Amino acid sequence: MIDSYDPLVVGRRVRELRSAAGLTLSDLAGRLGRAPSHLSMVENGKRELRLGELHAVAGALGVDVADLLSQAPRSRRAQLEIALERAQRSPLFTSLGLAPLAVRKTLPDQAIETVLALLSELEKVHEQRAATPEQARRANTALRAEMRRRGNHLAELETTAATLLAAVDYTGGPLSQRVVADLAGHLGFTIHHVGDLPASTRSLTDLEGRRIYLPRQSEAGRDPRSTLLQALAGAVLDHRPPEDYESFLRQRVESNYLAGALLVPQATAVPLLKAAKERRELSVEDLRDAYAVTYETAAHRFTNLATEHLGIPVHFLKVHESGTIAKAYENDDVRFPSDPLGTVEGQLVCRYWAARRVFAVEDRFSPYHQLTDKPGGTYWCTSSIQTTGRGAFSLSVGTSFPHAKWFRGMDADQRFTSTCPDENCCRTPPAALAQRWAGRALPSPRLNASLFATLPTTPSMTSASPPGVDTTDAYRFLDRHSGGGRP
């Protein structure tokens, strides 16, 4: 078994060995039976090779697999180029809005070293400014990067789900509550609905007595099957009280993933999705309806399966009606708003993105489709609104424009332009509003909006806006309720 490796280092080594062998990208791709675009992603460190692919590439290049997996750069120059590439992919560099520095043979080593040193010092400054718990924010960012690298697909949990479903004779279609109860019994648990479950818990599992306690009434907008399946997943995966925030986040992701894989099994969902792709009729709504799950569960499962089985890069956003991100995932290179350390949760989404535009749509029954021209390219997105006990959330699934052709609604008549993270796009209040209210407003943010957010770094906003607060919305509210005139 091969341990995990750095795709960027291996990709660069593939490129060096290919060039040394006198092969073009198309030459090597032809030997491997792959598209040149696929091999280009490998060489750029954006796609990880599986075990079989590693052997195939090594054979095509006439080297051993160990030559590809060696983590030591072949030269000082290679080491510098890899370090620069890695630095330019960091959340800090992305937040600066600078064009990446092209690495050419004419670029001196000293220039690369200087850029790396500057970025290192800038990283230190931003780390010192971070106002929320470092461990939590770093762990969240690292886990998101890992899921992006894996295409949001956890093959080992898909296998576990298939084994569990086979044990209770599941044959297809929506997973009924009876089958879920049978699964609990198969695992040796009894289910108990109580009225005094602690308010801070969704469920409580007694591992010694093999009892799972659930609330008598489910939270608005939440599938009661998911709550039970997540509790069972924790037991199946042998989760224990987490020692740190990284463990806590990983356990939550694994439990949610396994629950979703049970509700929407890979074995039956993939053929359904492939058939829809052939018809150019991919739809989150159809996946939701086929398995009688919530839109959020269907959206998550689509991201689990789309890249791995359909070859479609995607992104997912769950955004509170306040405009702040609750959950996010991407592997299509869309740029989410983030702080310099890469934290996405708690950040404000551009008001021109579908995830926020959907709140202004009166028809909440039909899916909302939109094209958005962003700094990194044009993206298509479908959004829906879910109402919960914690407020309304938009749930969005999107992809880069070349892949929109596979989806129903790709010919969206809604199209907007976003230049975020440019402050002049939508984050800076209009001059008249700013002049009227700067220094005279003190909004109080919602907890979920500010939990992960750092303090604003724009000097003009610092005195007026706590983390997670949309200053423009706050000023507009005050302007309406004050009559728009000076006191």
In the chain, what is the straight-line distance between the N-terminal and C-terminal CA atoms, in Å?
72
Q: Are 249 and 143 in contact (CB under 8 A)?
A: yes
- Residue in the structure block whose two tokens are 């809604």: 414
pLDDT in tens, 289-308: 999 999 999 999 999 999 99
Which of the pair, 230 or 429, is modelled with greater confidence? 230
Arithmetic mean of pLDDT, 117-146: 74
| pLDDT number for residue 79 | 83
Please state, in angstroms and rounded to a whole number, the distance separating the CA atoms of residues 155 and 266: 10
469: confidence class by pLDDT, cuts 50, 70, 90: low
pLDDT in tens, 417-466: 999 988 888 878 888 888 888 877 766 655 444 444 444 444 443 334 44
DSSP conformation class of 216:
S
In angstroms, the Cα distances linking 382 to 295, 321, 404 are: 12, 16, 10
pLDDT in tens, 173-222: 899 999 999 999 999 999 989 887 777 778 888 888 898 888 887 776 67
| pLDDT number for residue 445 | 58
What does the DSSP assignment read for 408-472?
A: TTTT-S-EEE--TTSHHHHTSPPHHHHHHHTTT------HHHHSSPPPP--HHHHTT--TT--HH
Q: Are 47 and 38 in contact (CB under 8 A)?
A: yes
Residue 246 has which token pair? 């990284």
Please state, in angstroms and rounded to a whole number, the distance separating the CA atoms of residues 60 and 364: 53
Arithmetic mean of pLDDT, 146-170: 93
Res 382 pLDDT > 90: yes
The answer to which of 82-91, 196-205, 231-240, 283-292 has the lowest mean pLDDT is: 196-205
Res 119 pLDDT > 50: yes
Radius of gyration of the chain from its Cα atoms, rounded to whole angstroms? 24
The answer to which of 16-30, 130-144, 151-165, 239-253 has the lowest mean pLDDT is: 130-144
Please choose, from the candidates 282, 289, 320, the residue with its C-alpha nearest in 3D space to the C-alpha of residue 303. 282
| pLDDT number for residue 457 | 45
Please state, in angstroms and rounded to a whole number, the distance separating the CA atoms of residues 317 and 344: 10
415: confidence class by pLDDT, cuts 50, 70, 90: very high
